[in-house]
Amino acid sequence: MTANTSAATADSPAAQRNPKRWLILIVLCLSSLVLVIDNMVLNVAIPEISTDLGATGQDIQWVIDSYILVFAGLLLTSGSLSDRFGRRLVMVLGLILFGAASLLAAYATTPEMLIAGRVIMGVGGALIMPSTLSILITVFDEQERPRAIASWSAVAMIGMVGGPVMGGVLLNHFWWGSVFLLNVPIAVVAIVAALALMPESKGPWTAPDLPGMVLSIVGTTALVWTIIEFPGHGLAEVWPSLLVAVIGFTAFVIRELKAEHPMVPLHLFRNRVFTGSSFSLVLVTFANAGLLLVLTQYLQFVLDYSPIKTAVAFTPMALTALVFNMIGAGLVGKLGVRSVTIGGLLVLAAGTGVLCTLTADSGFWLPATAMALVGAGAGLAMPAAIGALMGAVPPEQAGVGSALNDTIQQTGGALGVAILGAVLASTYTDSMPDSAPEAARANIAPAVMSGNGELIGAAREAFTTAMSHTFAAGAAAVLTACVVAFFLMRGAKAAGAEQVSAEVLDASELADAHEYAQ
């Protein structure tokens, strides 16, 4: 009996923890940070890029959209490949591609060269993002995983706020290419640290599902393209891409249901926790993406903030998100995943509700309070929901599970920008006087830049009215996520422990042992 007890102690999760796991987490956070910072600083650099490269509006649109399309389209494929060929290997390859493409973008001399760099960066980003979360899941056990996921999630908020500030500082002292050059040292440090600290991990070998990969790329790319183009062109022009998306995803589902080794385990959606977490994340990222889009314009065009001051104004949201990320990680063990998720969603809905009350002369403190509530709610809800989703995924499919999580959030964010952006634009136009110039009725920027005091005042009032409608729609989405989480996330705490069978664990352990032996 003593021998058995000793064996159990030696085999306990605490005894098996990787001694370098917190250093590995820093590497994973660095790898995620480079993606977030890149996307945020690009927005600050757009005016200088347009002037220096002579880029047209269509060129700039492609600079932004080419990355999104490639990144979203390849996520599921890269997650599946990381499970088969090695998560560290795929992440390092992604970092190499992303760093090299950042150099190409930094020294681009034509819009086409910059777009090519952004496409390659999208490929690198798609390889990096799923691997970071899947490695985190395999390195940390269930006891420490909530804290690790909270830290990983907090990095996104740091990058979101710090990116534009850093971009503004760089643009004040250097040329626009410096915002891309910033990625290179971060990528190099992450690559060296990953090779030095991080063990390789993968699931049991299965043949790659090539037809599934092609269909997922076609379906996802067509869907994201439809979402991007719909607000400006309407259904009459985007229906071909929508049809391609529907056909692509239908064929993908049929293929995955019949494949011996499917790329995406669709049976996961029969798990209430996985489905509830997925839909909650879609609705939250839907609301948050629209929130950031609208607030940025409100601070700059209505409150007359500079780009750097606008970035700094998001500090309350970043700080509360960081604090409540850590608080939420501790509460998950005591209250359970569902309670923390629902509590965070309610706080997030309250913050969004406060944003509905903003006026053209609200000053700083009311939006700061609202953003602090939004940050606190997101800090509680997002890591808990991600943890619940990943807890329902078998460890040998951690890569594709992480890719599903990323794809879900990308889709929710794209829908939020498209739909809430359309609500904002249409309500703003309807609220503007009929006598206003057409350009000013379509967009607040020309109105504010017109120099006409009466037109500027009308535009600011119209925008705050439109903003209230937009935030009301976002709050409704968050409250819907609360309902979904309440009914579908029961037992979420137990899902991570019970979802994986002994046979799966044995296979995973054998694969890891084989990796270390090599």
The pLDDT assigned to 12 comes to: 43
The residue out of 205, 231, 250 marking a domain boundary is 205
**In this structure, are residues 264 and 80 in contact, taking their beta carbons and an 8 Å threshold?**
yes
Contacts for 306-313: CB closer than 8 Å, 24+ residues apart: 307/44, 307/164, 307/168, 308/164, 308/165, 308/168, 308/169, 310/164, 311/44, 311/161, 311/162, 311/163, 311/164, 311/165, 311/168, 312/161, 312/165, 313/364, 313/367, 313/368, 313/371
Residues 238, 159: one domain?
no
Residues 217, 295: one domain?
no
13 inside domain: no
Instruction: Encode burial over 27-49: b for 16+ CB neighbours within 10 A, e otherwise.
Output: bbbbbbbbbbbbbbbbbbbeeeb
Distance CA 49, CA 60 (A): 8
**In this structure, are residues 284 and 335 in contact, taking their beta carbons and an 8 Å threshold?**
no
43 inside domain: yes
Task: Write out the residue range of the structural domain in which residue 332 sits.
Answer: 268-518
Distance CA 273, CA 278 (A): 8
**In this structure, are residues 36 and 160 in contact, taking their beta carbons and an 8 Å threshold?**
yes
5 inside domain: no
Conformational region of residue 220, where left means phi above 0, alpha means psi within -120 to 50, and beta covers everything else: alpha
Neighbours of 228 (CB within 10 A): 20
Q: If DSSP codes are grouped into helix, strand and coil, which group holds residue 189? A: helix
58 inside domain: yes
Q: CB within 8 A of 385, min separation 6: which ones? A: 277, 280, 281, 284, 337, 341, 485
Q: CB within 8 A of 67, min separation 6: which ones? A: 39, 118, 119, 121, 122, 125
Q: If DSSP codes are grouped into helix, strand and coil, which group holds residue 100? A: helix
Q: How far, in Å, are 278, 348, 372 from residue 341 at the CA level?
A: 12, 10, 17
447 inside domain: yes
375 inside domain: yes
* Sign, Cα dihedral of 458, 463, 464, 468: positive
The pLDDT assigned to 303 comes to: 86
CATH of the domain at 313: 1.20.1250.20
Residues 217, 283: one domain?
no
Q: From start to end of 306-385, where are the E strands?
A: none
Distance CA 38, CA 45 (A): 11
- Chain Cα centroid distance, residue 199: 25
Residues 253, 292: one domain?
no
Residues 243, 168: one domain?
no
Number of residues that this document lists for the chain = 518
Residues 311, 391: one domain?
yes
pLDDT of the chain along its 518 residues, tens only?
A: 444 443 333 444 444 666 777 888 888 888 887 777 777 777 667 767 777 787 766 677 677 777 877 887 777 777 777 777 778 888 899 999 999 999 998 898 888 898 899 889 988 988 887 777 777 777 777 677 777 777 777 777 677 667 767 777 777 778 888 888 888 888 888 888 888 877 777 666 666 677 877 887 888 788 878 877 776 677 777 888 889 888 988 888 888 788 777 777 777 777 787 788 888 888 888 887 777 778 877 888 888 887 677 777 888 888 888 888 778 877 877 888 888 889 989 999 999 999 989 888 887 888 889 989 998 898 888 878 877 777 777 666 666 666 677 777 777 777 777 778 778 888 888 888 888 888 888 778 788 887 788 888 888 898 899 889 889 988 998 899 888 888 887 765 433 333 333 333 333 333 333 333 33
Instruction: Encode burial over 413-424: b for 16+ CB neighbours within 10 A, e otherwise.
Output: bbbbbbbbbbbb
The pLDDT assigned to 373 comes to: 92
**In this structure, are residues 88 and 145 in contact, taking their beta carbons and an 8 Å threshold?**
no
> What amino acid is encoded at 456 in this protein?
I
Distance CA 438, CA 463 (A): 15
Work out how many domains the chain is built from and give that number.
3
**In this structure, are residues 360 and 461 in contact, taking their beta carbons and an 8 Å threshold?**
yes
Copy the structure tokens of residue 444.
Answer: 């607040």
1 inside domain: no
Residues 387, 313: one domain?
yes
Residues 149, 253: one domain?
no
Q: CB within 8 A of 467, min separation 6: which ones? A: 294, 298, 355, 358, 424
3 inside domain: no
Residues 252, 322: one domain?
no
Rg for the chain, CA atoms, rounded: 23
Residues 286, 329: one domain?
yes
Residues 250, 280: one domain?
no
The residue out of 240, 262, 284 marking a domain boundary is 262
Instruction: Encode burial over 232-249: b for 16+ CB neighbours within 10 A, e otherwise.
Output: eeeeeebeebbebbeebb
Residues 146, 285: one domain?
no
